[in-house]
Each structure stands twice: as C-alpha cells, then as structure tokens.
C-alpha cells in the first residue's frame, strides 16, 4: 500500500460517483428521509469496514451522513480508500 499521486487520485475518483476530495480526504455526503435510515446505512458501512479492516470517519447529523476516507498508515489517500468507497457505493439506500 502506498500514497497515491495526484494523477492516480484523479484517475481513481473518475471511477466513482458523488465522491470528492476535500482537504486531502475522500468524502461523500448522503441525505436520508429518516434518521432510522441514516443509522441503518451507517451500520452497513460499519460491517463492510470491519470486513475490510479499513475504517472511515463517519458523521451523522439527523438526516445527513458524511463519510471521509484516508489511510493513516501512508498519510493520505491510498487504493484502500477508493476500494472501500466502491464497496460503500454498493450499499442499497
């Protein structure tokens, strides 16, 4: 696992929808119709994160869930972040 170059990040982000880079983190915001749906979604992320041993920063504010990914071991974005983003995108809302 290595720190991705700006070119590699640009290539990887083009392969996923609704994610953006903010302050060096891979981020996504999702709005839900209910608090219960938001928490259910977070729990699904938790399961996938445990299975992949890669844990995002997750913030919940009622109907809004914010996901932020980075790889602390390399001090920035790695392929692990983009792989987890793709898995998170497979979760049905």
**Every domain of the chain and the residues it spans:** 6-89
HEC string for the chain: CCCCCHHHHHHHHCCCCCCEEECCEEEEEEECCCHHHHHHHHHHHHHHHHHHCCCCEEEEECCEEEEEECECCCCECCHHHHHHHHHHHCCCC
The answer to whether residue 93 scores a pLDDT higher than 80 is no
Average pLDDT over residues 82-91: 98
pTM of the model: 0.95
Degrees to nearest 5, angle at CA 13 with 86 and 9: 115
pLDDT tens-place string over residues 26-65: 999 999 999 999 999 999 999 999 999 999 999 999 999 9
Query: What is the model's pLDDT at position 45?
Result: 98
* pLDDT on residue 57: 98
Superfamily of domain 6-89: Transcriptional coactivator/pterin dehydratase (3.30.1360.20)
């Amino acid at each position: 696992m290595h720190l991705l170059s700006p070119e590699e990040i640009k290539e990887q982000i083009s392969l996923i929808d609704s994610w953006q880079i903010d302050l060096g983190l891979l981020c996504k915001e999702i709005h839900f119709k209910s608090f219960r749906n938001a928490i259910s979604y977070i729990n699904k992320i938790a399961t996938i994160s445990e299975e992949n041993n890669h844990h995002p920063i997750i913030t919940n504010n009622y109907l809004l869930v914010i996901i932020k990914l980075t790889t602390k071991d390399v001090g920035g974005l790695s392929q692990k972040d983009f792989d987890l983003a793709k898995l998170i995108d497979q979760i049905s809302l």
